[in-house]
Structure 1
Amino acid sequence: MTSGNVAGGHKANLNNPQTSEESKQHSREVLENNDFDYATNNDSENKNPNNVAGGLKATLKNPNVSDEAKESAKERLNDM
């Protein structure tokens, strides 16, 4: 299974009305915390740094995000 398939599965989960909010939150965390190689070859170097920073800041303020994910987001923000 390729990373694109994994990302696609998590994206599908986010749009599925049958899945729980807990499951959707997990998918959000996986997508936020991993640099997947999408079919369009969007690597982290081609991402808008302001959008990345905004996503990381949102992770820090989201009460449904684990402490581990928040710590990772904080470290990534400090590295920017």
Structure 2
Amino acid sequence: MPSKFQDLDPAGVSPEDRVNAMRGYKATIKNPRNSESAKQHAHEMIDALGGDEPRREMKQFDQDKDQTRIAGGLKASTKNPRVSEEGKNRAQEKLDQMGAPSE
């Protein structure tokens, strides 16, 4: 679903930016001092920002980033002179299971 905010940046609005904007709108909804029209507008903006979709996108991004870090640590283990040959072999096996290149 296209967002009203996509026109602001040619690269598109990041999921993190959308989640941050949604936090503000959710605070508006919960604040008893805000008018009903402001709360209604906040509901509309949350829908326009994609509801919970930005959170799912951020979670997937974090999982991808974690896999990259894990692979980097395993690659470092295969080159570290302080790691035993057995440890290097296990790290290489895990890299192979991940499908990450060893070089």
TM-score range, shorter chain: 0.3 to 0.5
Highest RCO, 1 vs 2 (Cα 8 Å, sep ≥ 6): 1
**Higher Rg of the two aligned structures:** 2
What is the TM-score normalised by the length of structure 2?
0.35
